[in-house]
């Protein structure tokens, strides 16, 4: 952790440190970009049917996505579309941009502004399923190591569900976001899980503050884990991440 200066590198290293301290699967989730203000969008033609889209938020978060288009678009068409969207939506939170695009597209059906309709359609294709949150996971094998021959089929079903969520990170991100209501410690034990297939597992997480937004770090393990050690490990790493991000990557005294 000491050598990680960039936020991405720091969060990439956090699960390794936390997994080593707790002996459980560990994760670090970057702050969601949904509340960030939209800054600009750029369209780059790849071929006649594909366009690379780059979305930049005011916080500096960059997302990119390749979208399909139904008609070949000239570079000038894409530039005009980007200019319209940047002028129309710059400064709005991303979730408001999503909503406004849908509302305007519905009203555009009665209008004949080809440029505006094209720009909005490109934007809708862009923001649909665009992931704004980075999730880093380490220690998946530890879940299997902690499983015993005495574990029943429901326990193995919980592991299977979690592994599927890890493969499809957006599902795990949605699960974690559903538990983060306020800053602080989050402890979900067994049957407290909203997802029935995860009720043989426990989750311990703590939020951190990067100076602008809240992210979280935590662990997932069996219900019989040593909670005192796990809570201490999560709290310690969370405080360290907050300090590092708040001081530009240097350790606070």
Residues 61 and 82 in one domain: yes
11 and 107 part of one domain: no
The predicted pLDDT at position 217 comes to 95
Give me the number of domains the chain comprises.
2
Closest CA to 10 of 208, 212, 231, 203: 208
Contact at 8 Å (CB) between 38 and 89? yes
Residue 22 contacts residue 219 (beta carbons within 8 Å): yes
Is the same domain home to 175 and 96?
Answer: no
Q: Is residue 2 part of a domain?
A: no
- Same domain as 28, residue 139: yes
The beta strand positions in 148-213, using DSSP E, are 185-189, 201-209
Q: What range does the domain containing 146 cover?
A: 7-32+134-246
CB under 8 Å to 15, separation ≥6 — which residues?
A: 26, 27, 28, 136, 137, 138, 139, 217
154 domain-assigned = yes
In the chain, the largest separation of any two C-alpha atoms, in whole Å, equals 67
Give the per-residue pLDDT at 150. Answer: 45
Domain boundary among 74, 105, 127: 127
Residues 176 and 236 in one domain: yes
Predicted local confidence at residue 4, as pLDDT: 36
Same domain, 138 and 241: yes
- Residue 67 domain-assigned? yes
In the block, residue with structure tokens 């969207």: 85
* 81-110 exposure pattern, b = at least 16 Cβ within 10 A, e = fewer: bbebbbebbeeebbbebbeebeebeeebee
Q: Are residues 213 and 152 in the same domain?
A: yes
- For residue 6, the model assigns a pLDDT of 55
Rounded to 5°, the CA angle 79-84-87 comes to 120
Asked if residue 253 belongs to a domain, the reply is no
Q: What is the CATH classification number for the domain harbouring 59? A: 3.30.390.60
Q: Is residue 1 part of a domain?
A: no
Last residue of a domain, one of 93, 127, 161: 127
Torsion of CA 126, 67, 129, 4, to 10 degrees: -90
C-alpha–C-alpha distance, residues 231 and 253, integer Å: 23
Tell me: do 140 and 228 sit in the same domain: yes
Short-list 241, 205, 206, 236, CA closest to 220: 205
pLDDT for position 110: 44
Is 203 found in the same domain as 92? no
Residues 28 and 46 in one domain: no
Domain containing residue 12: CATH number: 3.30.450.40
Structure tokens at 206: 């703590």
Tell me whether residue 252 is in a domain: no
* Per-residue confidence in pLDDT tens, the chain, 253 aa: 443 345 667 888 899 999 998 989 999 988 765 556 788 999 998 888 899 998 887 766 677 788 888 888 889 999 999 999 999 999 887 778 888 888 888 775 545 577 788 888 888 888 876 655 678 888 887 777 666 544 555 567 777 878 877 776 767 877 887 887 778 999 999 888 878 788 889 999 999 987 777 889 999 998 888 999 999 999 999 999 998 887 554 333 3
Tokens coding 183: 């800053």
Overall pTM > 0.85: no
How high is the pLDDT of residue 229?
93
**pLDDT recorded at residue 15:** 92
Same domain, 209 and 141: yes
Q: What is the pLDDT of residue 234?
A: 96
* Domain final position from 100, 127, 154: 127
120 and 138 housed in the same domain: no
């Amino acid at each position: 952790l000491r050598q990680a200066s960039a936020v991405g590198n720091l969060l990439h290293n956090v699960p390794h440190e936390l997994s080593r301290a707790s002996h459980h699967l560990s994760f670090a989730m970057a702050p969601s970009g949904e509340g960030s203000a939209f800054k600009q969008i750029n369209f780059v033609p790849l071929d006649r049917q594909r366009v690379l889209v780059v979305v930049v938020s005011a916080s500096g978060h960059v997302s990119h996505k390749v979208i399909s288009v139904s008609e070949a678009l000239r570079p000038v068409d894409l530039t005009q579309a980007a200019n319209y969207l940047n002028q129309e939506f710059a400064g709005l939170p991303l979730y408001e941009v999503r909503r406004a695009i849908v509302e305007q597209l519905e009203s555009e059906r009665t209008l004949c502004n080809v440029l505006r309709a094209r720009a909005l359609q490109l934007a809708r294709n862009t923001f649909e399923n665009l992931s704004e949150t980075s999730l880093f996971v380490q220690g998946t094998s530890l879940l299997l190591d902690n499983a015993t021959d005495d574990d029943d089929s429901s326990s193995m079903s919980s592991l299977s569900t979690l592994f599927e969520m890890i493969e499809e990170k957006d599902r795990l991100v949605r699960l974690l976001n559903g538990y983060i209501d306020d800053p602080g410690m989050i402890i979900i034990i067994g049957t407290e899980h909203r997802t029935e297939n995860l009720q043989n597992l426990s989750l311990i997480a703590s939020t951190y503050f990067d100076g602008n937004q809240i992210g979280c770090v935590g662990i997932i393990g069996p219900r019989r884990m040593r909670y005192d050690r796990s809570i201490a490990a999560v709290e310690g790493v969370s405080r360290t991440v907050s300090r590092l991000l708040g001081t530009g990557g240097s350790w606070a005294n």
